[in-house]
Amino acid sequence: MLEFPWREGQLHLFQLDGHLLLFDVASSSLFQIDEAAWAILKEGKTSPLDVALARAREKFGPKAEEAFYELKLLSLKGLILAPDPALNAQYAPFPYLKALCLNLAHECNMRCSYCFAGQGTYGGERGLMPPEVARKAVDFLLERSGPLKRLEIDFFGGEPLLDFSVLKEAVLYGKERAEKMGKEIRFTVTTNCLLLSEQVGEFLNKTNMRVVLSIDGRKEDHDKNRLLINGKGSHDLILSRIRKFLSSRGEKLYYLRGTYTAETLNFLDNALYLFDLGYSEVSMEPVVALPNEPYAIRAEHLPEIFRQYELLAKEIDRREREGRELHFFHFEVDTTGLTCVSKRLSGCGAGVEYLAVTPSGSLYPCHQFVGRSDFKMGTVWEGITNQEKLEEFRHLSFLEKENCRTCWARYLCSGGCHANHHLLSGNLKKPDFIGCEITKKRMECALYLKLLRRERGKGSAKERTEGLEKESNI
């Protein structure tokens, strides 16, 4: 049923590079529209049906009638102004665990200036995870996973390859135990690449592990922040490790992950640099920092950041027209195969479905909460002892978050990152403005890239991802 004025957060109308786009929030449908349709919908945000149509008719004549008729039909089909499936409901996830982040090392062999983890220590003591803690963490995940079949473990730090033997043991132990229980664990490692030797690479390839390789891009930008312990830049060393490793990997299941800061806002150059080195999987993330840090991203940086994302979408399109296939992580939004609404309401699942484990076996809601003592939830030995915290996170859907209920991006970002909200606003339910603005702009550019790809007759992001998954037998 078409109702004007439509409510805030039902539709998102936006223009990019002269194209008019409409995203229907509840049905997750994306349209390119013409000026007559745009005029009706724009006016319909504040005016009743007859007024919106009359104003559009003044400018577009019979075309406005035609667009209005089509709009009504698409509304009947549930593709535009579809009823919201969740606004009057509450869907708390089951307290089953499906993913663990194992901080194998609260220690690092680099000294990156912007590190949110305090150069690996998270504000505590340096240390490596003993094998018995890693094994116990695997047991804890499997035992707490209930009926879930697909589980995940991500190795993180500090630098998780500082003790490769523990990583190896956890993977082999996890695979064996999961198989006996009829489950499957997917493993990922995030590394600064310094210890990415041939032997390590062989193991990662053989076990089909996903890898996230940290590199910020061009030497001059990377070396501003990603420093070795001796204070020297790490770019050349890291790039040589990445080249060797990826040549053995066959271009699958990896991302080159960079961080941009207020001092390196030109992430476009850095993403293109990585693409132009011949790699197709790239991610660039805004730094996580308190506002008083000189490298923290502030509101005045947003226009430049938006410009960078727009240019990046166009540059990716240009290179793809020349025959490349490129994936920028945040532009690979798939609206055709989304997870169901219950999952999209509950977000990343931190504190409930997803927990982080420190080297001593303490549990936190996610890797970013590690070291914030109020958020300690228990240990792998005792299990969850802080039930109150578990329940708090279990009910932390976007329906509970300030401004999210009426935000057009709510089903795509699910209320965003709890840890960032807490760090920047001191409140889990209060999203940080800058993070939200960046997320929304990235979504717009991702949707725009879909239009460009469709014009070229290219498959969806999901179809291309499925190709990768099949190739690697995952």
Q: How far is the CB of 71 from other proteins (least distance, A)?
A: 7
C-beta closer to other proteins: residue 199 or 339: 339
Please, which residue, 125 or 463, has the CB nearer to other proteins? 463
Phi, psi of 383 (to 5 degrees): 85, -160
For the CB of residue 276, give the shortest distance to other proteins in the complex, in Å.
19
Q: At residue 437, what is the residue type?
A: E
Of 31 and 203, which has the nearer Cβ to other proteins? 31
Two structure tokens written together for 94: 């089951």
Q: How far is the CB of 96 from other proteins (least distance, A)?
A: 7
Partners of residue 411 on adjacent β-strands: none
Three-class DSSP category at 103:
strand
* 142, 170, 185 from 177: Cα distances, Å: 8, 10, 10
State in angstroms the smallest separation of the CB of 349 from other proteins. Answer: 5
Question: Tokens 């303490």 correspond to what residue?
Answer: 362
Separation between Cα atoms, residue 213 and residue 280, nearest integer Å:
13
Query: Least distance from C-beta 373 to other proteins, angstroms?
Result: 21
Of the pair 66, 220, the CB lying nearest other proteins is at: 66
Q: What is the CA radius of gyration of the chain?
A: 23
Six token digits for residue 422: 């807490």
Q: Which is nearer to other proteins, 72 or 177 (CB)?
A: 72
User: What burial class does residue 388 get, using C-beta atoms within 10 Å of its C-beta: 0-12 exposed, 13-18 middle, 19+ buried?
Assistant: exposed
| Beta carbon nearer to other proteins, 136 or 462 | 462
Query: Least distance in Å: CB of 186 to other proteins?
Result: 7
**Which residue's entry shows tokens 């667009």?**
67
Smaller CB separation from other proteins, 58 or 198: 58
Q: Say how far apart CA 121 and CA 141 lie, in whole Å.
A: 24
Q: Which amino acid is at 3?
A: E
Our CB check for other proteins shows the closer of 152 and 263 to be: 152
DSSP 9-20: TSEEEEEETTEE
Instruction: Indicate the residue among 12 and 367 with the shorter CB distance to other proteins.
Output: 367
Nearer to other proteins, 194 or 288 (CB): 288
Write down the least CB distance from residue 105 to other proteins, Å.
15
Output 368 or 379, the one with its CB closest to other proteins. Answer: 368
**60, 34 contact by CB (below 8 A):** no
158 torsion bin: left (phi>0), alpha (psi -120 to 50), beta (else):
left
Q: How far is the CB of 312 from other proteins (least distance, A)?
A: 15
Name the token pair of 417. Answer: 């990152």
10 Å CB burial of residue 237 (0-12, 13-18, 19+) is middle
Contact 219, 236 (CB under 8 A): yes
CA 62, 67, 71: angle at the middle one, nearest 5?
150
Backbone angles phi and psi of 359, in degrees to 5: -55, -30
Closer CB to other proteins, 130 or 472, in the complex: 472
Residue 84 DSSP class: P
Gap between the Cα atoms of 310 and 295, Å rounded: 22
In the complex, minimum distance from the CB of residue 378 to other proteins, in angstroms, rounded to a whole number: 19
CB of 227 to other proteins, least distance (A): 19
CB of 468 to other proteins, least distance (A): 11
Write the single-letter amino acid at 215: I
C-alpha torsion angle, residues 274, 280, 283, 284 (rounded to 10): 30
What is the total residue count of the chain? 474
